[in-house]
A = this chain, B = another copy of it.
Amino acid sequence: MKKQASLNTTTSCSSRITAIKDTMEILSGKWKFHIIGTLLQSDKMRFMDLIREVDGIGAKMLSKELQDLEMNHLVSRTVLNTKPITVEYKITDYGKTLEPIINEIANWGMEYRKLIYKAANQED
């Protein structure tokens, strides 16, 4: 008789797995956290501001990532009727609910650095 999966087949489990997949897909790619993190700090930003703040990103990537975020209602996009056209990007209230996740991830990463540093020193 073949062995079968048992742990991850309960409904509570598979909905958890789906939830994680959903979240990670929404936040997928090299730049999403970076962009959201930047918008969380500053409330309003224009396209060119983001190009300058998000270190290393190019116009194509920024444009694409912002479209993704807008589609998922995490970021709002407002075209202003100014002389050279300007566009305002803001994080939505919904987008702000990501802050706890981002904080957890940032904190974990900082603890990680500390541990690596400690381990490296103990080896000497």
Contacts and interface: CB of A to CB of B under 8 A. Distances in A.
**Identical chains in the assembly:** 2
25 contacts: A3-B52, A4-B52, A5-B55, A6-B53, A7-B41, A8-B55, A16-B37, A16-B110, A17-B55, A18-B109, A18-B113, A19-B105, A19-B106, A19-B107, A19-B108, A19-B112, A22-B109, A23-B108, A23-B109, A23-B112, A24-B33, A24-B105, A94-B115, A101-B104, A101-B105
A19 B113 CA distance: 8
A20 B97 contact: no
Contacts of A52: 3-5
Given A19-B113, A37-B16, A55-B8, A101 B108 contact: yes
